[in-house]
Structure 1
Amino acid sequence: MNCYECVQQGRSEVAVAVCYVCGAAVCVDHVRAESKLLRGPASPGKVIRDWPARQLTCPVCRAAEESP
């Protein structure tokens, strides 16, 4: 699978990830990896825990998330 952003620019680059928002395939130059914490479900008598996770996005979705 090729990077969608590169194809739009007339290039062919192998995709290494898929954007979690829109599902576009992106190469290593276009992907953004961000650390997130996932919160586990709470139940009576249990401790709520956060687990480290990773979120991968394309440039378009990244810009949309960062816009005010």
Structure 2
Amino acid sequence: MLKCYDCLEKSKENEAVGICIVCGKGLCMEHIKQVEFPMKGGYPLPHLNLKKDLPRMMCRECIDSILGEDFCV
């Protein structure tokens, strides 16, 4: 089974429930965060926003690095 990378750094063992889409770390429920990005349509109507945001799973480190510390999840 895949283990949570952040937990292993703290000498704990928890099973991962998902993977960060940016860095690929396995993460447990305590460390994984769901981020919803607004998505735009594609060809032939690229200017339209989709009706529903798509959820993405990320680690806190990648959220802070990419979206900034002020981004609230």
Report the TM range for the smaller structure's normalisation. Answer: 0.7 to 0.9
Equivalent residue letter for 1:34 = V
Structure 1's unaligned 5+ residue stretches are none
Within a 5 Å distance, the mapping from 1:23-34 to structure 2 comes to: 23-34=24-35
- CA distance in 2: counterparts of 1:47 and 1:58, whole angstroms: 30
Equivalent residue letter for 2:30 = D
The number of residues matched between the two structures is 67
Higher relative contact order (CA 8 A, sep 6+): 1
Name the structure where strand makes up a greater proportion of residues: 1
- CA distance in 1: counterparts of 2:5 and 2:47, whole angstroms: 42
Within a 5 Å distance, the mapping from 1:40-55 to structure 2 comes to: 40-43=41-44, 48-50=48-50, 51-55=52-56
Within a 5 Å distance, the mapping from 1:10-21 to structure 2 comes to: 10-21=11-22
Structure 2's unaligned 5+ residue stretches are none
Greater CA deviation, 16-25 or 51-60? Answer: 51-60
Normalising to structure 1: TM-score of the pair?
0.81
